[in-house]
């Protein structure tokens, strides 16, 4: 007897690095503006420790958010949930509501489209996942079959 488990597919390292780059650029602008303000207002350089401290806090919060909420797709025995993706369509659903799943290409990017019984869809771009396309599709198929009550021979 197999146990039903939850699968979590995390954010691809390349995408996480891009997001971290945006955070670092924002922090660099903050430090630059603080340095200019210190020079213009003729304040002591010890005040520059405030934006530097804020930098450490922001980086710690970004690391915490990536570790705890850095998943993109969560597949449970009951259904699925997608986060951090714009244009996903239906962000969560039950396996019983899924008509079928199709691996296709949208705007030259590989995606998996889950078509629901009511006509709505969920589009999951595979390139933002840390797993390969084949591994994700295989895991999705297993969860979909189990969610519908189908078992392998």
pLDDT in tens, 95-131: 999 999 999 998 899 999 999 999 999 999 999 999 9
Q: Which of 64-73, 107-116, 143-152 has the lowest mean pLDDT?
A: 143-152
Name the burial class of residue 91, with classes exposed (0-12), middle (13-18) and buried (19+) by CB atoms within 10 angstroms of its CB.
exposed
Name the pTM for this structure: 0.77
- Please give the structure tokens belonging to residue 52: 């530097």
User: Binning pLDDT at 50, 70 and 90, where does residue 73 land?
Assistant: very high
Terminal-to-terminal C-alpha distance of the chain? 12
Is there a single domain that holds both residue 110 and residue 55? no
Is there a single domain that holds both residue 94 and residue 40? no
- Enclosing domain of residue 95: 72-147
pLDDT for res 28: 94
User: Binning pLDDT at 50, 70 and 90, where does residue 4 land?
Assistant: low
Tally of domains within the chain? 2
pLDDT for res 2: 35
Contacts 24+ apart (CB under 8 A), 85-93: 85/124, 85/125, 85/128, 87/123, 88/122, 88/123, 88/124, 89/120, 89/121, 89/122, 89/123, 90/114, 90/116, 90/120, 90/121, 90/122, 91/122, 93/122
Element at 123 (helix H, strand E): strand 121-125
- Answer with the one of 21, 52, 69 that is the final residue of a domain: 69
From 91, 79, 88, 83, select the one nearest 66 (Cα to Cα): 83
pLDDT over 70 at 152, yes or no: no
Q: How far apart are CA 119 and CA 129, in angstroms?
A: 25
Is there a single domain that holds both residue 45 and residue 78? no
pLDDT for res 1: 30
Q: How far apart are CA 144 and CA 97, in angstroms?
A: 10
Is there a single domain that holds both residue 65 and residue 79? no
Percent of the chain at pLDDT > 70 equals: 95
Residue 87: inside a domain, yes or no? yes
Is there a single domain that holds both residue 53 and residue 93? no
Is there a single domain that holds both residue 63 and residue 81? no
């Amino acid at each position: 007897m197999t146990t039903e488990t939850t699968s979590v597919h995390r954010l691809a390292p390349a995408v996480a690095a891009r997001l971290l780059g945006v955070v670092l650029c924002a922090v660099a602008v903050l430090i630059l503006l603080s340095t200019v303000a210190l020079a213009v207002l003729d304040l002591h350089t010890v005040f520059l420790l405030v934006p530097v401290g804020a930098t450490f806090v922001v980086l710690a919060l970004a690391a915490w958010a990536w570790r705890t909420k850095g998943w993109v797709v969560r597949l449970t025995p009951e259904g699925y949930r997608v986060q951090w993706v714009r244009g996903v369509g239906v962000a969560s659903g039950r396996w019983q509501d899924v008509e079928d799943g199709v691996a296709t290409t949208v705007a030259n990017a590989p995606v998996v489209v889950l078509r629901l019984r009511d006509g709505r869809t969920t589009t999951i771009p595979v390139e933002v996942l840390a797993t390969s396309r084949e591994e994700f599709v295989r895991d999705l198929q297993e969860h979909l079959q189990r969610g519908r009550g189908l078992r392998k021979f």
